[in-house]
Amino acid sequence: MGHLDDKKYAQAIAGCTKCDAKAFEVNTYVERELVVMLASPNQDGRWTHDHAKLIDGTYRVRCIACSDDAYASNDCPRCHRSNGLADALGQTSRLTAPQRCPTCKGTELTVRAAVPARVRTGDRPTAPTPIATYGDPGFHIAGISCEGCDWVAAPDGCALCGGPASQRT
């Protein structure tokens, strides 16, 4: 469970305490899945999170009108390591996709990643907009799999900040 639950998240986006606006920009880590061929993405991928995961990965809720933070945390959104957010946003993935599957030598692999994204709330909530893309700092591969032979790989420790392995899913 993240620092925010449904109730705290709903309170954060209910209305700005400074200006009473009801539109917010939410910065969060959410899951994205994409296919890579020879370690290069051959598509943009797709979001694979649900509303609970969007809330769970939230590290900032900011009023669009006055820029006041309704919620902010510097802890890693995944493992909650103190001040781990800076590492999560500033470093590249600790796990990289190989050019070929090490077991069957297939060239196509599925990458599951934790991606920083922005979502706007208010009258017309928006779909997430990625802040980082494959290979950028902040984009963290959480798992790689080969459908051809069931090979899988996962990073040691927290996929986002490199802290101790998280007990969370």
Summarised one tens digit per residue, pLDDT across range 114-130 is 999 999 998 776 789 99
pLDDT in tens, 1-40: 568 889 999 999 999 999 999 999 999 999 999 999 999 9
pLDDT in tens, 46-101: 999 888 899 999 999 999 999 999 999 999 999 999 999 999 999 999 999 999 99
Nearest alpha-carbon partner for 77 in 92, 61, 55? 55
Structure-token match 């196509």, residue found? 108
Structure-token match 């599957």, residue found? 101
Please report the sign of the dihedral spanned by the C-alpha atoms of residue 68, residue 162, residue 169, residue 130: positive
Tokens of 80: 């909650």
Answer yes or no: are the C-beta atoms of 119 and 128 closer than 8 Å: yes
Per the prediction, the chain carries an average pLDDT of: 92
